[in-house]
Structures are given as C-alpha cells and as structure tokens.
C-alpha cells in the first residue's frame, strides 16, 4: 500500500499528514508541524517542508531521513500570499521649549500639588523667606544630602513646595523630610529643566492619577492663561492623563501645537474605477470604501507617504521572492482598525509618550500559482520523492474539516492563520466558494504591541495567547475574571504584586509593564475582536449564498489562531446571531483545529492511482 504525505504550507507553519492509502481506504500514521521557512509558495519553503516531513516519519517509527518510505508528496494548491501590517499616525503632539515633564516613575515621593519657581538645590540659601520654590536636584546629589538641604531650608522659613530629581530617590527623600511635598523623580534630562520659571508639581495618592495637571482649565488657573493659551495647552493635559505624577513648567518661549501628519491616501481600484480615501478619515471610512469597491482589483498608496511606501514594499518583496514582475502582483484586500499609537513627546524631559490616534493596516497580496509548481519540482529534487500539486487549498480544508465529528454540508471553513483569514464554503452539490482576507494573528500582535508600547514581540505573543492574573500574595493570585486561585507552594518573590501571565498550570510569567490587568486584558480582547470577529463575518458574507450568513449551517474554525483560548468563543458568540453552528474544529476527531488541509490532501488521493 502506497504511503502519501499531505503537506500544507501555510503563512506561519507547515503541517504534514502521513498515511497509508488503499483504493478505498486510508490509514493515518502520523501528523507533524514545523515553522514555515520563507514566504508561502516560494523556494525558501523547502527547509520547513523537509523538517516537518522528518518529524512525521519519526513519529511513524521510521528514520527522520528515510524519505524513500514515502511514495507521494501532495502539496496544497494556492497562490502565494503575503501580508504586511503598518501603523499610521493621524495626529502627533509636539511640545517644545521644555514645557512639560509627565511620566509614571515607579516610586514618586510625597503627595499633593506644589506651585513655585524652579530653583537649583544649590541656590536654596539665596531664596527669600516665604517665596514659593520647586527644587531641582541633579543626580550628583545623594538623597541624604538633598533631604538635609531641604530640611535646612524649611527651618529658615523658605517655602519649598515641591521637588524634581534626576535619580530614583523620590521616596527616600520624602521619608526624610519634615514636611510632605510632592517629588517627581527619574527625570533623566534634569539639565534641561529651565530655572527661574513658574512650575507646578503634582503627585497623586496611591491608586489615583493626577487631576489638576490633566485638566486644561486647572492648568489655566495655576498659570493664569488666556483662552488662546488654554487652547494650546490641551495636548499637554492630554499627554498627562492617567499619570500618577507630573510637572508642567511655563516658559516664556514655550510653544505647544498639535499638527496633522500626512499619513497619505489609499487608492482602491474596483469595478467602478479608482477611488481614494485619506488614512486620517479613520478605519470605519476606509473599510466602507473597501466593501463598496469589492471585488478589489488592486490597492495603491500615495507616493511619498508612509502608506505608499508600505504598499510598494509588499509588492517588491513578493516580486523578489517569486521572480514575477511587479505588474503581476496585486493587493487584493485591506483591513483597517482604529487604534492608539504611542508618540514620543518632543521637548519632554523624561522620555514622555502621548497616545495618539492611529490606524492599523493589514494588506494581502495574491500572485499567480506558477511558483507552486516550481516548489513541487524543487522538493522532488531535494528529497527524491514524487511531488505534485494537489487540490485547491479551500477544497482540501473542507475535506479535512468534514472529519470533525458532527459536521455536514453546507459547511464553511474559517482558516485563522497568522497573515490572513481564509474562508471556504462547500454547498450540497459540491461547489466550493473561497476568499482570502488580510488581517489575522500578526495584526493582533501589532495592535497589542502598539497600544501597550512594547518592543518585545515574544512577550506580545504571550500576552495574546495566555490569560492574566494579579499576584496578591505568595500563596494566591486573582485571575482576570475575578476568581482567586491558591497555591500549595510559595510563588517566586519577583512575582509579588505584579500582573503575570498564566503560561501553564504551574508556571507564571511576570509582565514588566506599568499597566493594570484590566488595561492589558481590554487591549488584548479589543484587538482580537477588531481583527478576527470582523474578518470572520466579512469572509463568510463573501462566500455565503446571496451574501447571507444565515444560509450556512455549519462553520468550522481551523488554523493556528483557532487554538487561542478566547478567539473561537468570540466568533461562536458572534455567529450565533445568525443561527449558525460554529466552533473549533477537531480534525479526524483527535487533532483539534490543526492539520485540516494536510488531511484533505491525503483524502483527495483515495481511489486514484498513485504509483
């Protein structure tokens, strides 16, 4: 009996189903998965294919390199697809002339509001009695020296209202003072704090955020601003919302302005011709134009802008990988999501960031199917086994999904991957409709990273994939749903008081991020809903008869993102509005949502001559 290896090369992973196939039956021997090497459908995939097939052979009881045990390699037939994600900022806050210091040091000192003239700590003895001042303390002054100098000033009747220090000494200084004053520390650019200027320092009590300096009218009251000056100070107040401590300094030459950034225009080519829309109109307007321009022939970006560069970079990458001319590569879909983008505040002194409106964009390119045949020939030469292109990927996914117990036609499959969300529908007569849409797991990661201000993409992936908890003692944690879990053994000391990820039953990983458990959870869930729930309904409407989702009986979720602990439930809940039976697939009754296409490729060879 011949041995067939169905190999599904995806955007992120390569999956193998290894089986012994007879004329009318199939015996599955093993399944495996490995990371895809290179862009799907290109010659770089060979390394990943070889690795995945070796793992399957080993699981079947053979040598990892014993490729000659396999009689046929059957690859999925699909156009190469490449997705890319970019963040386009709509506005940006520009603050110049050292107008503000606003950040969240982990340990600000004291509490309250202090208004006075900025003065170097070395000049305290020159200050007149009852003249309110805010002391500026460079890192060269130790916390003991600083506390002693301020206490001496108190004893002389000098009115010290607050302090700004360079080192992480806020609490240490506050604990040694004879009076309670607000102290903002960790101000790296202390040398750029202007002296002799009117200043307000605010430190909120634990668990609270600044109130005066996040309100433009309170700032106007403190500094005696006119209506026009109050309008200019709005970006400062907005940047300080949510901070536990803040400083605002009024300088004579200070300038605050909010300017528009030319994010660029999108040009969408559809049946009615080319239409344009500016990125700064937001995601809703962009998606309305995408829907009204369907089916999309191509999408371009305005030359010389960020979005234009993104579009051309995607085309160029695909052209280089497939050896196809740029003219044969077309962007077929786009997903836009409104989000918040952290922007560095120009003129800030403590690495301040302000959250500004932005649009996350995911695009998808489809090219000709020619490279897949080149890949099959290369695999045949590499491992010495006959390789051929099997059925269309959408049909293979449905054949694999139908091995899920309790399913029947008309059945739709939602393949939730890393780069794209794909949908296919098999009607009772066997006819198959399919669609590929931009936006999937990678876009969720991009949104989470942006809104939480993270650069560590491994941490971002973990935040996406695992639930949260708050470590409240060395023996118990409070889960994100409010329930409490106790441990028999004490938790690691570094976890105490932190938000952590529940990686496994017995392993917690702390998140070194100054954000509440509610903030992280809300960002994660919003990103998943905006991408996956949106794309699930978009995709099913495209393949459903008369674009009516209610005419679909069953929807099976497959792919890597279907393993997520909350995405399938979100989609199931949404599709229940249409009376559709939807849920995570269980391929062959044992594999969960993995291996649908690879299994379908094997099943497609049943009943035909292989050798």
Minimum mean pLDDT among 209-218, 249-258, 478-487: which range? Answer: 249-258
pLDDT greater than 90 at residue 294: no
pLDDT for res 520: 93
Domain ranges of the chain: 1-79+369-402+594-611, 84-90+261-366, 93-256, 406-585
pLDDT for res 114: 93
Write down the H helix ranges in 140-196.
Answer: 143-155, 170-174
pLDDT for res 94: 46
Question: CB of 353 within 8 A of CB of 344?
Answer: yes
Question: What would the mean pLDDT of 449-474 be, rounded to a whole number?
Answer: 91
Fold designation for 84-90+261-366: Ribosomal Protein L22; Chain A (3.90.470)
HSE toward the beta carbon, residue 152, CA cutoff 13 A: 13
CATH class (in words) of the domain with range 406-585: alpha beta
User: What is the sign of the dihedral through the CA atoms of 326, 329, 330 and 333?
Assistant: negative
Minimum mean pLDDT among 30-34, 353-357, 374-378, 438-442: which range? Answer: 353-357
Question: Out of 3.50.30.70, 2.40.160.20, 3.40.50.11890, 3.30.230.10, which CATH number does the structure's domain 93-256 have?
Answer: 3.50.30.70
Same fold, 1-79+369-402+594-611 and 406-585: yes
Gap between the Cα atoms of 209 and 502, Å rounded: 28
Gap between the Cα atoms of 314 and 331, Å rounded: 9
pLDDT greater than 60 at residue 611: no
> Model confidence over 478-497: pLDDT tens digits?
999 889 999 988 988 888 88
Joined tokens for residue 331:
């962007």
Could you tell me what percent of the chain has a pLDDT over 90?
Answer: 36
Minimum mean pLDDT among 69-73, 220-224, 344-348, 495-499: which range? Answer: 344-348
Confidence of residue 353 (pLDDT cuts 50, 70, 90): low
> Model confidence over 296-340: pLDDT tens digits?
999 988 877 777 777 787 778 777 766 777 777 888 888 888 887
Question: CB of 185 within 8 A of CB of 101?
Answer: no
Could you tell me what percent of the chain has a pLDDT over 70?
Answer: 88
Question: What would the mean pLDDT of 45-60 be, rounded to a whole number?
Answer: 94
Joined tokens for residue 463:
């935040």
Strands, DSSP E only, in 283-386?
A: 298-301, 330-344, 353-366
Nearest CA-CA partner of 100 in 251, 273, 289, 319: 251
What is the CB neighbour count within 10 angstroms for residue 512?
10
Gap between the Cα atoms of 54 and 403, Å rounded: 25
Average pLDDT of the chain is 84
Confidence of residue 54 (pLDDT cuts 50, 70, 90): very high
CATH H-level, domain 1-79+369-402+594-611: superfamily: ATPase, nucleotide binding domain (3.30.420.40)
pLDDT greater than 90 at residue 133: yes
pLDDT greater than 50 at residue 258: no
Looking at per-residue pLDDT, the higher value among 217 and 256 belongs to 217
Minimum mean pLDDT among 92-96, 200-204, 391-395: which range? Answer: 92-96
> Model confidence over 552-606: pLDDT tens digits?
888 999 988 899 999 999 999 999 999 888 899 999 999 999 999 999 999 988 8
Looking at per-residue pLDDT, the higher value among 378 and 100 belongs to 378
Minimum mean pLDDT among 129-138, 305-314, 361-370: which range? Answer: 361-370
Q: List all residues 6 or more positions away from 137 whose beta carbon is below 8 Å from its beta carbon.
A: 121, 146, 163, 164, 165, 166, 167, 169, 173, 190
Gap between the Cα atoms of 439 and 452, Å rounded: 20
Nearest CA-CA partner of 82 in 331, 336, 390, 445: 331
Confidence of residue 367 (pLDDT cuts 50, 70, 90): low
Gap between the Cα atoms of 185 and 164, Å rounded: 6
pLDDT for res 253: 55
pLDDT greater than 50 at residue 97: no
């Amino acid at each position: 009996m011949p041995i067939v290896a169905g190999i599904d090369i995806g955007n992120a992973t390569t999956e193998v189903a290894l089986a012994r196939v007879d004329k009318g039956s199939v015996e599955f021997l093993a399944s495996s998965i490995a990371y895809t090497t290179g862009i799907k459908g290109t010659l770089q995939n060979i390394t990943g294919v070889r690795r995945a097939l070796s793992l399957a052979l080993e699981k079947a009881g053979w040598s990892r390199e014993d490729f000659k045990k396999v009689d046929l390699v059957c690859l999925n037939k699909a156009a190469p697809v490449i997705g890319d994600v970019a963040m386009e900022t709509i506005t940006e806050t520009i603050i110049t002339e050292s107008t503000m210091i606003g950040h969240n040091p982990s340990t600000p000192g004291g509490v309250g509001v202090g208004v006075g003239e900025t003065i170097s700590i070395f000049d305290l003895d020159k200050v007149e009695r009852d003249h309110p001042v805010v002391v500026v303390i460079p890192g060269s002054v130790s916390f003991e020296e600083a506390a002693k100098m301020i206490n001496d000033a108190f004893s002389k009747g000098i009115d010290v209202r607050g302090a700004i220090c360079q080192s992480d000494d806020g609490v240490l200084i506050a604990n040694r003072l004879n009076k309670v004053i607000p102290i903002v520390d960790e101000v790296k650019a202390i040398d750029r704090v202007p002296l002799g200027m009117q200043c307000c320092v605010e430190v909120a009590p634990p668990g609270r955020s600044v109130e005066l300096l996040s309100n433009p009218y309170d700032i106007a009251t403190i500094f005696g601003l006119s209506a026009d000056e109050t309008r200019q100070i709005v970006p400062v107040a907005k940047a300080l919302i949510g901070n536990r401590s803040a400083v605002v300094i009024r300088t004579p030459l200070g300038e605050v302005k909010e300017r528009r950034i030319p994010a660029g225009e999108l040009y969408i080519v559809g049946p009615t011709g080319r239409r344009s829309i500016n990125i700064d109109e937001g995601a809703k307007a962009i998606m309305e134009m995408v829907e009204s321009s369907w089916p999309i022939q191509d999408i371009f970006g305005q030359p010389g802008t960020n979005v234009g560069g993104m579009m051309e970079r995607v085309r160029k990458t695909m052209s280089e990988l497939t050896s196809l001319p740029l003219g044969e590569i077309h962007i077929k879909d786009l997903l836009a999501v409104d989000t918040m983008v952290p922007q560095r505040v120009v003129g800030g002194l403590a690495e301040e960031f302000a959250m500004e409106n932005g649009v996350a964009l995911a695009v998808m390119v489809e090219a000709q199917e020619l490279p897949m045949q080149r890949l099959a020939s290369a695999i045949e030469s590499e491992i010495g086994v006959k390789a051929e292109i099997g059925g269309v990927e959408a049909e293979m996914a449905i054949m694999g999904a139908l091995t899920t117990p309790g399913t029947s036609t008309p059945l739709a499959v939602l393949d939730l991957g890393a780069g794209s969300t794909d949908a296919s529908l098999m009607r009772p007569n066997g006819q198959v409709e399919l669609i590929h849409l931009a936006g999937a797991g990678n876009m969720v990661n991009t949104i989470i990273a942006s809104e939480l201000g993270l650069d560590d993409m491994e941490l971002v992936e973990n935040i996406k994939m695992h639930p949260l908890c708050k470590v409240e003692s060395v023996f118990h944690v409070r889960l994100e749903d409010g329930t409490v879990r106790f441990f028999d053994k004490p938790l690691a000391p570094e976890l105490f008081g932190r938000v952590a990820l529940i990686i496994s039953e017995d392993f917690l990983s702390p998140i070194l991020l100054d954000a509440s458990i509610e903030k992280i959870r809300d960002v994660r869930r919003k990103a998943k809903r905006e991408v996956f729930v949106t794309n699930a309904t978009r995709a099913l409407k495209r393949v459903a008869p008369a674009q009516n989702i209610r005419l679909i009986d069953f929807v099976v979720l497959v792919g890597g993102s279907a393993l997520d602990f909350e995405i399938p439930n979100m989609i199931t809940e949404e599709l229940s509005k249409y009376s559709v039976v939807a849920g995570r697939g269980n391929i062959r009754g044992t594999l969960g949502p993995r291996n649908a296409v690879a299994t379908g490729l094997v099943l497609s060879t049943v009943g035909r001559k292989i050798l």
